[in-house]
Structure 1
Amino acid sequence: MKKIMIMVAILAIATTKLTFAQSKTDAAFNQLLTAYYDVKNALAADKLAQAAENVKVLSAKVDAVPHKELPGAQHTLWMEQAKVIKAKAAELAIAKDIKAQRKSFETISSAMIKTIRNIKFNNATVYLQHCPMAKASWLNEKEAVENPYYGSMMFACGDVTETIKAK
């Protein structure tokens, strides 16, 4: 009977630790997603300087993800995507025009889309949207299209192509 109780206690502690670690990781990924939305919103509003500032926060949020707690395949995927996000964030931050920023954002978006599809962390519904003119997709916190690739020129251009429900 003692052995059973000890085993149950060990299992309970291990499960709690795993859940806590996962929730910490999920929280960090959700902060990253919020920072991503801030960059997307600045680009959709044609705000070059704001996008450059917001992408610095995004880059810091990439570094803040406690990735070591991710299982093998997810960890490998995250390390690859984090490298892409950081590189393109650095490009976006120093870009002299919004067109160059949007090109960098396109790659950041692709990396974020791969991440959210493979590491189910979102605590709210995420809308995957696509602009046929830009031939590019992005994530949005709202169902209404807000195009970061054309901004005010074609603010509502695009469609919701996928709805990613909250975890």
Structure 2
Amino acid sequence: MKKVMMMMAVMVIATTKITFAQVKADAAFNQLLTAYYDVKNALATDKKDVATEKAKILSARIDAIPHQDLPASQHTLWMEQSKIIKTKAAELASGKDIKAQRKSFEGISYAMIKTVRNIKFNNTTVYIQHCPMAKASWLNEKENIENPYYGSMMFDCGDVTETIKSK
């Protein structure tokens, strides 16, 4: 009886540790997603300087992800995509003009889309939107189109191409 109780205690502790690690990772990923939205919103409203500052925050959020707790396949994906996001965020932050920032944002968006699709950490619905003029996609926290690639010139140009429900 003692062995059974001891085994159950070990299982409960192990399960709790895994669950806690997943909750911690999900929270960090959702903070990353919020930082991404902040960059997207700055570009959609033609705010170059705000986009620069928000890209720096996005980069810091990447470093805060507890990636070592991810399952092997997700960890590999994250390591690949985080490198892209970080590189493109640095490009965006040092972009000379909003056009260059928007081009960098395209790389960030594709890496974020791949990450959200495969790690499925989002605690709210995420909309993947696409602008046929820019031939580029992005994530949005709202179903209404807010085009970061053209800003005020074509703020509502695009379509929702996919909806990723919350975890």
> Structure 2-normalised TM-score?
0.99
* Whole-angstrom distance in 2 between the partners of 1:30 and 1:155: 25
- The residue number in structure 2 matching 1:19 is 19
2:142 is paired with a residue of what secondary structure? Answer: coil
Deviation of 1:125 after TM superposition, in Å, equals: 0.5
Deviation of 1:162 after TM superposition, in Å, equals: 0.6
Q: Which amino acid aligns with 2:13?
A: I
- The residue number in structure 1 matching 2:79 is 79
1:146 is paired with a residue of what secondary structure? Answer: coil
- The residue number in structure 1 matching 2:44 is 44
* Whole-angstrom distance in 2 between the partners of 1:64 and 1:117: 20
* Whole-angstrom distance in 2 between the partners of 1:120 and 1:15: 20
* Whole-angstrom distance in 1 between the partners of 2:123 and 2:95: 32
1:61-140 matches, cutoff 5 A: 61-140=61-140
Q: List structure 1 runs of 4+ shifted beyond 4 angstroms.
A: none
Deviation of 1:33 after TM superposition, in Å, equals: 0.2
* Whole-angstrom distance in 2 between the partners of 1:123 and 1:15: 21
Deviation of 1:9 after TM superposition, in Å, equals: 0.9
* Whole-angstrom distance in 2 between the partners of 1:165 and 1:4: 40
1:160 is paired with a residue of what secondary structure? Answer: strand
Deviation of 1:3 after TM superposition, in Å, equals: 1.3
> Structure 1-normalised TM-score?
0.99
Gapped regions of structure 2 (runs ≥ 5): none
